[in-house]
Amino acid sequence: MTKQLPLINVLSICLVGCGLVVSAANAADGDWKRGRVYYQNVCTECHKAKAGGPIAPNTRTMAEWTTYLKADKHVKGKESLAKYASKEYRASIKSTNKAAEKYADIPDEQLFNDVKTFMLKGAKDGDSPASCL
Amino acid sequence: MGTGKFMVVIMASMLLIHTVYAASDPASEKLLKSTSDHSKFEALQQDFSSGPEVTKACLTCHTEASKQLHLTQHWTWEFLNPDGQRLGKKNVINNFCTSVASNYASCTTCHIGYGWKDDKFDFTSEINVDCLICHDSTGNYRKQPGLAGNVVTKPMEIPPGSGNMVKPIDLKKIAQAVAKTSRDNCGACHFFGGGGDGVKHGDMDSSLASPDKALDVHMDATGINFACATCHMTEGHQVPGSRYAPTAQDKGGAHLRGKEYTTNPTTCQSCHGQAPHKANAKLNDHTNMVACQTCHIPAFARGGVPTKMSWDWSTAGKMGPDGKPLIRKDAKGHLVYTAAKGDFVLAENVVPEYLWFNGKVKYTLFGDKVEKSSQPTRINHFEGAADDGKSLIWPVKIMHGKQPYDSVNKSLVVLHMAGNDDTAFWTNFNWERAIATGMASVGAPFSGKVDFLETESTWPITHMVAPAKDALHCRDCHAAGGRLEKVSGIYIPGRASDHARWLDGAGWAIAALTLLGVLLHGLGRVIVSRRHK
């Protein structure tokens, strides 16, 4: 037996769906140049110093990066990856990191999206494979 | 709360989130930068199947753009030297890949046009101007080698038979996102001059796409983030600061807003003036002799990309044990030999050489007589002298080459390297056939005799400006074996070549006599004081 949804619920579901679609579109369309600067100066510099060396975007495929980004796990799953693009994290390193200082006020989601855009674009099979330079 | 009300709350929350997000999102940032959103332009609401189709759409609004471009060196690849020499990429022979002639379809990958595949290219065509190579902001616009500057709009195997499939680019998306030029745009060609990343210039490579302050204080992506056009201030698509028209010495002051200038806006002085050193004013005494770049660019190729310092074509053509063209790499994985090109010497963090330069450059062109001798043939030659009142001491990269020439006609040669025909050197590795085709393409005689000539070319160093703390110090020049040891015509205290033994001897003798006098005087005092006791 099926139960009919009230009209308002149908409309609401549609609008929520639209919201998610818009979010997904934003996720694919960040500022890749800003993402590149953050990736190079924060991610790469930290990996060089503390995590056994840099990981260039072009060492993974888009699918691999997508899976990694979706999982949102860092430091062997102990922490959220998004944390490293957060204002809080940027504030903690901005005295020694110029990219963190420059982008101190960018909203978390926006900056993380920029970094994601650069990683996917720079992937091995992305539109513009990128090394660590 | 019923399901309906719950959904209304969720819906309202979603809308609120998006409203808040929009206030601090890229859309707002875009609005601050431009009054036009090209994604809304009707002319760009179509799928493009070629570059010229995009240009046609651009021209519906930017009606005069192609006409402007037609007047630029970027389009003509020609430059008339003040002494009458016809220069520009189209005409010069260098000691990298040597010449454009006979290799158009490959070399014109870096032309700001579409379809320059031979000497019949229509330079009056407006739709063949490539707007996107300079105005793409997506970073996805690519021109593949061998396509005469055309772009890939459907899957294509490049080079043919290689199995390397190249994905098409989305011209509609790229056209809808055009923007002012950036380092990535200019760098798409200028970082890769000479056939690869950092090969030619030494002070320009892909590390400048997003450099830190240590690499370049002006282009520092985490700092003031200059685009190329910040200094190469373009008007009517004319880009000032070409190396064919260099300004060796700018005696003017800093350019002020509201005032019109006809001088080169790319010089250091056009912003910093003639007395830029505030903390140590003594340094300003150097600016009438030494180019700013000499002290402020202590080394080039500093961004992790090596530059080519020498190229020996004479060893090209070797096959490996498997019968395939040989390649060799260094410990870092950089190519140092290929059958197609011969041996290379690469280097990073290179200390420049220094010479007097007055802004005039003389070239050895195709057709000029060249002789094999103990001295390399100068492909180009920076003129200047200490006493001409126009020269400064400049840092340069000297590129050493060994390249084929016609040993009977005593002429540099046009090499037919790239192409899908059986005379191209990169196909058959036969010098005589490749040169015969190359020379025939320009209507020049070829004796059939090939030998190799040592050459050198000179390149100004003017990018990769280091922070002040990393600039040269006094002792870098004012010491024996200092950087300017070989620069003639000037007295530089401290350097070995300015030592006068007799003056040193006289100085030490005077010092010794002074010491002796002091000692004798002291002794006299002691003796006199004892007598009084």
Q: What is the pLDDT of residues B138-151, one digit of tens each?
A: 999 999 999 999 99
B207 with A133: Cβ contact below 8 A:
yes
pLDDT band (50, 70, 90) for residue B499: confident
Strand partners, B394: B355
Burial B311-343 (b: 16+ CB within 10 A, else e): bbbbebbeeeeeeeebeeeeeeebebbbbbbbb
Q: With 90 as the cut, is the pLDDT of residue B30 above it?
A: no
Distance (Å, whole) CA B182 – CA B37: 18
Amino acid at B3: T
**Of B4, B18, B213, Cβ closest to residue A19:** B18
pLDDT tens across B433-461, in order?
999 999 999 999 999 999 999 999 999 99
- Beta strand B392-406 pairing with B353-357: antiparallel
**Cβ <8 Å between B184 and A33:** yes
CA distance B189 to B112: 10
Q: Are B255 and B207 in contact (CB under 8 A)?
A: no
Q: Is residue B404 part of a domain?
A: yes
Same domain flag for B480 and B527: no
CA–CA–CA angle B436, B440, B443 (5° rounding):
140
Same domain (yes/no): B100, B159: yes
Under 8 Å CB-to-CB from B301, ≥6 apart: which residues?
A: B198, B202, B203, B205, B307, B347, B348, B349, B350
Cβ contact B209–A133 (<8 Å): yes
Q: Do residues B476 and B395 make contact, with C-beta atoms less than 8 angstroms apart?
A: no
Dihedral angle computed from the Cα positions of residues A13, A15, A17 and A22, in that order, rounded to the nearest 10 degrees? -170
CA distance B318 to B326: 6
Q: Does residue B441 sit in the same domain as residue B455?
A: yes
By percentage, how much of chain B surpasses pLDDT 70? 95
**Residue A127 touches chain B, beta carbons under 8 Å:** yes
d(CA B145, CA B294): 36
- pTM of the entire predicted model: 0.87
Helix, coil or strand: residue A26: helix
Put simply, whether B427 touches A (Cβ < 8 Å) is no
Q: A17 in contact with B at a CB cutoff of 8 Å?
A: no
Higher pLDDT, residue A20 or A7: A7
Domain boundary among B190, B210, B234: B234
Same domain, B445 and B516: no
Considering the domain architecture, whether residues B126 and B173 belong to the same structural domain is answered as: yes
Residue B457 located in a structural domain: yes
Range of the domain at B524: 500-532
Scan for tokens 């800003």, then name that residue. Answer: A34
Count up the domains in chain B and report the number.
3
Residue B412 in any domain: the answer is: yes
Cα–Cα distance list, B410 to B407, B414, B439 (Å)? 5, 13, 13
- Contact in structure between A105 and A87 (CB atoms under 8 Å): yes
The phi, psi pair for B241, rounded to 5°, reads 95, 20
Check whether residue B476 and residue B340 sit in a common domain.
yes
Are B360 and B508 members of one domain?
Answer: no
Residues in chain B with CB shorter than 8 Å from the CB of A33 are 139, 182, 184, 210
> Tokens in use for A86?
């957060």
Q: Are B435 and B445 in contact (CB under 8 A)?
A: no
CA distance B487 to B435: 39
Integer-rounded Cα Rg, in Å, for chain B is 30
Over residues B40-56, the pLDDT tens digits come to 999 999 999 999 999 99
Q: For residue B393, with 0-12 CB atoms within 10 Å meaning exposed, 13-18 middle and 19 or more buried, which class applies?
A: buried
CA atoms within 13 A on the CB side of B472: 24
Please check whether residues B55 and B124 belong to one and the same domain: yes
Q: pLDDT band for position B532 (50/70/90)?
A: confident
Residue B315 host element (H or E): none
**Does any CB of chain A come closer than 8 Å to the CB of residue B211?**
no
Q: How confident is the model at residue B528 (pLDDT cuts 50, 70, 90)?
A: very high
Burial of A12 (0-12, 13-18, 19+ CB in 10 A): buried
Residue B19 has pLDDT above 50, yes or no: no
Q: Which pLDDT score is estimated for A14? A: 43
Q: What is the pLDDT averaged over residues B182-202?
A: 96
Cβ density class B424-438: b for 16+ within 10 Å, e for less: bbbbebebebbbbbb
Same domain, B37 and B66: yes
CB B399 within 8 A of CB B350: no
For testing the chain B interface, which of A33, A98, A116, A121 should be mutated: the one with the most B CBs within 10 Å?
A33
User: Across the interface, do B303 and A133 touch by the CB < 8 Å criterion?
Assistant: yes
Residue A7: band (very low, low, confident or very high) from pLDDT cuts 50, 70, 90: very low
Which pLDDT score, from 0 to 100, does residue B504 have?
81
The closest CB to that of B206, out of A101, A109, A133, belongs to A133
Provide the strand spans (E) within B261-379. Answer: 307-312, 327-329, 335-338, 342-347, 353-357, 361-363, 377-378
Nearest to A16 among B11, B139, B223 (CB): B11
Question: Which chain B residue lies closest to A15 (C-alpha atoms)?
Answer: B11
Does A133 contact B184 at a Cβ distance shorter than 8 Å? no
pLDDT of B25 reads 61
Q: Are B395 and B291 in contact (CB under 8 A)?
A: yes
Render pLDDT for B85-139 as a digit per residue (tens, 0 to 9): 999 999 999 999 999 999 999 999 999 999 999 999 999 999 999 999 999 999 9
Is B218 a member of any domain? yes
Tell me the per-residue pLDDT of B234-271, one tens digit each, with 9 for 90 and over: 999 999 999 999 999 999 999 998 998 889 999 999 99
pLDDT at A70 over 90: yes
- B295 lies in some domain: no
User: Is position B335 within any domain?
Assistant: yes
Domain locations in chain A?
Answer: 30-121
Range scoring the smallest mean pLDDT among A96-105, B225-234, B412-421? B412-421
Q: What band does B411 get if pLDDT is binned at 50, 70 and 90?
A: very high
Mutate to test the interface with A, among B9, B20, B222 (most CBs of A within 10 A): B222
SS3 state of residue B402: strand
Assembly ipTM: 0.83
- The distance of A76 to chain B (nearest Cα, Å) reads 29
Tokens 């064919």 -> residue: B244
Provide the pLDDT for residue B20. 42
CB distance from B213 to chain A under 8 Å? yes
Interacting residues of B382 by C-beta distance below 8 A, sequence separation 6+: B355, B357, B360, B361, B394, B396, B458, B460
Q: Nearest CA to CA, how far is A65 from chain B (Å)?
A: 19
Q: Return the pLDDT at A12.
A: 45
pLDDT value of residue B24: 53
Based on the fold, state whether residues B101 and B220 are members of the same structural domain: yes
Mean pLDDT rounded to a whole number for chain B: 93
Do B521 and B383 belong together in one domain? Answer: no
Is B379 found in the same domain as B365?
yes
In chain B, which residues have their Cβ closer than 8 Å to the Cβ of A40?
210, 221
**Pick from B130, B487, B401, B78: which is nearest to B245 by CA?**
B78
Tell me whether B140 touches chain A (CB under 8 Å): yes
Please, which pLDDT band fits residue B187 given cuts at 50, 70 and 90? very high
- Find the range with the poorest average confidence among A13-22, A70-79, B353-362, B369-378: A13-22
Distance of CA B504 to CAs A96, B270, B492, B497, Å? 49, 42, 15, 13
User: What does the pLDDT read at residue A133?
Assistant: 61
